[in-house]
């Protein structure tokens, strides 16, 4: 029996290279070793999304990118969170064993309160409970995460443990599987790459658009003139070369330090390598985009398969809680 992996990603539409390096490549690699369930978390998105007019489109675009990057619906279950409503039922039941104090101390809750003070909704507080429901509904034993998500997973483990202690062993405590590329910084070189703060490079851009985006990247501020020597270790363009141009990084570092390469040429080289790495993905994406019904079918089939597992867990949960 393969162990089961679960991962949910917020519906953000077209994926960027931070998603690709930090999550999607890992999702693809895990498919052969584990029984994988990957979910576009649309209910979570509602905690900050007030206008849902493009929600279906963002789910579609995201799944399209996942498939083009190599996720195989024959191997993995791919679906949208809300299509399996049992998750909302489990969220309510788990909320009864989760102390409010645990939720109010979660750093991301505090950050969200600062980010959207005019929309501090109940869903924001319960976010980790819904995330726990996502994982334990499918009895996942392994959750691929970046280092920044470890506290969330620890909370999910605590909630599962508390439920098990009170109602008898029901859920495995999910274990973290750290990704190889935990934190990808964006074009500003400061924050995690994110569409929300416009510091991202979408995977599906054309070659020209990719180069345009890369050209906006912040580099070492010490290189004000072409003849100034640089410090590659503090430059995010250099970090990205590490992922897309691994055999060139030593050369680039030497040339940057001795001012033999300028930032414009260094960025052009990075864009070239990103484009060549993503070329097969972009070709597959174009083929899949021509078959929109295929994406709809993948999501419907995934939801159906996920629901079979979910219904069995809910029955067991209710039985253990003496609700039935």
User: Which of 3, 177, 192, 318 is flagged as catalytic?
Assistant: 192
The answer to whether residue 76 forms part of the interface with ligand SF4 (CB under 6 A) is no
The answer to whether residue 186 forms part of the interface with ligand SF4 (CB under 6 A) is no
Known catalytic membership, residue 33: no
The answer to whether residue 187 forms part of the interface with ligand SF4 (CB under 6 A) is no
Smallest CA-to-CA distance from 81 within 127, 44, 51, 55 is with: 44
By CB neighbour count within 10 A (0-12 exposed, 13-18 middle, 19+ buried), where does 249 fall? middle
Nearer to ligand SF4, 214 or 303 (CB): 214
Nearer to ligand SF4, 158 or 188 (CB): 188
**Interatomic CA distance for residues 146 and 139, integer angstroms:** 20
**Interatomic CA distance for residues 153 and 160, integer angstroms:** 11
Nearer to ligand SF4, 65 or 220 (CB): 220
Helix (H, G, I), strand (E, B) or coil at 169: coil
By CB neighbour count within 10 A (0-12 exposed, 13-18 middle, 19+ buried), where does 93 fall? middle
Residue numbers 253-272 binding ligand SF4 by CB under 6 A: 256, 261, 263, 266-267
Supply the angle between the helices 263-289 and 55-68 in degrees, to the nearest 10.
100
Question: Residue count at the site for ligand SF4 (CB under 6 A)?
Answer: 14
Q: CB neighbours of 287 closer than 8 A, spacing ≥ 6?
A: none
Known catalytic membership, residue 114: no
| Least CB distance to ligand SF4 at residue 270 (A) | 8
Nearer to ligand SF4, 49 or 215 (CB): 215
The answer to whether residue 219 forms part of the interface with ligand SF4 (CB under 6 A) is yes
Question: Which residues have a catalytic role annotated?
Answer: 112, 192, 195
Binding stretches for ligand SF4 (CB under 6 A): 219-220, 223, 230, 232, 235, 237-238, 252, 256, 261, 263, 266-267
């Amino acid at each position: 029996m393969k162990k089961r992996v679960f991962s949910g990603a917020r519906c953000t539409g077209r994926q960027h290279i931070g998603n690709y390096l930090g999550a999607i490549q890992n999702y693809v690699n895990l498919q052969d070793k584990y029984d994988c369930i990957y979910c576009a978390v649309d209910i979570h998105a509602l905690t900050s999304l007030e206008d849902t007019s493009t929600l279906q489109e963002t789910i579609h675009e995201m799944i399209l990118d996942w498939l083009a990057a190599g996720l195989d619906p024959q191997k993995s279950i791919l679906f949208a969170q809300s299509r399996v409503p049992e998750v909302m039922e489990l969220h309510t039941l788990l909320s009864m064993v989760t102390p409010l104090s645990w939720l109010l101390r979660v750093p991301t809750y505090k950050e969200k309160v600062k980010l959207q003070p005019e929309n501090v909704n109940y869903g924001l507080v319960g976010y980790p409970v819904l995330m726990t429901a996502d994982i334990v509904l499918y009895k996942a034993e392994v959750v691929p995460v970046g280092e920044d998500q470890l506290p969330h997973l620890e909370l999910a483990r605590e909630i599962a443990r508390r439920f098990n202690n009170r109602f008898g062993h029901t859920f495995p405590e999910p274990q973290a599987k750290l990704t190889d590329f935990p934190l990808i910084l964006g074009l500003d070189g400061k924050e995690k790459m994110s569409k929300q703060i416009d510091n991202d490079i979408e995977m599906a851009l054309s070659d020209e658009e990719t180069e345009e985006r890369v050209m906006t990247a912040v580099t070492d501020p010490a290189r004000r003139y072409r003849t100034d020597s640089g410090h590659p270790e503090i430059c995010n363009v250099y970090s990205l070369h590490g992922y897309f141009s691994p055999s060139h990084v030593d050369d680039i570092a030497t040339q940057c330090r001795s001012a033999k390469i300028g930032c414009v040429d260094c960025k052009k080289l990075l864009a070239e390598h990103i484009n060549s790495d993503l070329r097969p993905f972009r070709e597959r994406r174009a083929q899949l985009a021509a078959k929109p019904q295929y994406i709809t079918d993948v999501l419907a089939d995934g939801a159906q398969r996920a629901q079979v597992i979910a219904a069995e867990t809910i029955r067991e949960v209710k039985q253990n809680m003496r609700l039935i």
